[in-house]
């Protein structure tokens, strides 16, 4: 009988808010943190370009089951557009595709940004991870393939100019929903202004509940002496689930739920869950909690909790 291969590392669970430096891919960041924490399993909650710095949420162990919530969360960016040249990647890494002597005034940039707030249609950059007939768009773009990406709806909650240190650069702060590309905004904004421009610097300052205040750099992680010390920097599994209303379990119900069984909820737990629900939410989603933390995601119906995704922490 063949033996099952034992997974290397420790069963580490939780989230790390990594302050990713530039010139590091998201995959490299995950690999580094997995090694430093000696974790069996890790993944990220939303890709950050190599030329971008800032918040990269990294999930360990059972927290990987909540990665989609991090990917779908609101995000904040602070970025600088350099005017005068456009590139094929819409950032400073690409080849120059056009030049222009035109430079927009700060007031013109601020006014043009108004058209990008709300639910808008955005065509992703050609150099992106979007799949086209099974291939990544950036691979097709590098090979010189002729293809078109379709526009898709994205939400921009706010966009404002925060600085214009000189005529060649404008710094902008954006709060967006999922699927939004800063490089595409720079491309479209430059077009509307009759200018050429590309992203010079980009920093992601927030992903949902993950902020720079609690973030840690790879250098700070490496400076800690042991994997166990580094594990102390982890945030709880439920950090990515801030928008999911919690429901309190009765003592002793957690083992049953982890076996996939439905349990009856106490009346006060039902009342609290209803009070915590967002008024716009029509679903029955809930996060089952006990004194030790998150137990499962599931649905509340007829005074009962039915688990759909359990956490074996």
Residue 188 annotated to the active site? no
Residue 1 pLDDT: 44
Q: Where are the domains of the chain?
A: 14-73+209-239, 75-207, 244-310
Residue 12 and residue 62: Cα distance in Å, rounded?
8
Residue 104 and residue 15: Cα distance in Å, rounded?
41
What Rg value do the Cα atoms of the chain yield, rounded?
22
Residue 283 pLDDT: 76
Domain 75-207 annotated CATH 3.30.2350.10: yes
In which band, very low, low, confident or very high, does the pLDDT at 166 lie, cut at 50, 70 and 90? very high
Which tens digit of pLDDT belongs to each residue from 169-208?
999 999 999 999 999 999 999 999 999 999 999 999 999 9
Q: Among the listed ranges 86-95, 132-141, 228-237, which one has the minimum average pLDDT value? A: 132-141
Q: Is pLDDT of 5 > 80?
A: no
Establish whether domains 14-73+209-239 and 75-207 are of one fold: yes
Please state which CATH number belongs to domain 244-310: 2.30.130.10
Which tens digit of pLDDT belongs to each residue from 21-48?
999 999 999 999 999 999 999 999 988 9
SS3 label, residue 224: coil
Q: What homologous superfamily does CATH list for 14-73+209-239? A: Pseudouridine synthase (3.30.2350.10)
Catalytic residue among 19, 23, 49, 290: 49
């Amino acid at each position: 009988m063949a033996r099952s291969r034992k997974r290397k590392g420790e069963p580490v669970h939780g989230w790390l808010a990594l302050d990713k430096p530039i010139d590091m891919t998201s995959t490299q960041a995950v690999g580094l943190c997995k090694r430093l924490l000696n974790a069996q399993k890790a993944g990220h909650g939303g890709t950050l370009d190599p030329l971008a710095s800032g918040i990269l949420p990294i999930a360990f162990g059972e927290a990987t089951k909540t990665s989609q919530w991090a990917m779908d969360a609101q995000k904040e960016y602070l970025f600088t557009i350099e005017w005068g040249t456009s590139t094929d990647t819409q950032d400073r890494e690409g080849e120059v595709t056009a030049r222009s002597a035109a430079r927009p005034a700060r007031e013109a940039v601020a006014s043009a940004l108004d058209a990008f707030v709300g639910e808008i249609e955005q065509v992703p950059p050609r150099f992106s991870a979007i799949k086209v007939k099974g291939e990544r768009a950036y691979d097709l773009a590098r090979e010189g393939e002729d293809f078109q990406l379709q526009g898709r709806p994205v939400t921009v909650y706010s966009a404002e100019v925060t600085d214009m240190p000189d005529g060649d650069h404008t710094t902008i702060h954006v709060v967006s929903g999922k699927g939004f590309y800063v490089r595409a905004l720079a491309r479209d904004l430059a077009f509307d202004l009759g200018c050429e421009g590309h992203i010079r610097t980009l920093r992601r300052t927030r992903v949902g509940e993950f902020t720079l205040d609690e973030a840690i750099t790879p250098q700070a992680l490496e400076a800690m002496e042991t994997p166990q010390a580094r594990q102390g920097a982890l945030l709880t599994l439920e950090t990515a689930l801030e928008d999911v209303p919690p429901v309190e379990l009765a003592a002793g119900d957690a083992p049953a739920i982890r076996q996939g069984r439905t349990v009856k909820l106490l009346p006060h737990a039902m009342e609290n869950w209803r009070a915590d629900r967002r008024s716009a939410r029509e679903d029955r989603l809930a996060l089952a909690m006990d004194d030790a933390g998150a137990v499962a995601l599931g649905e509340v119906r007829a005074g009962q909790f039915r688990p759909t995704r359990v956490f074996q922490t």
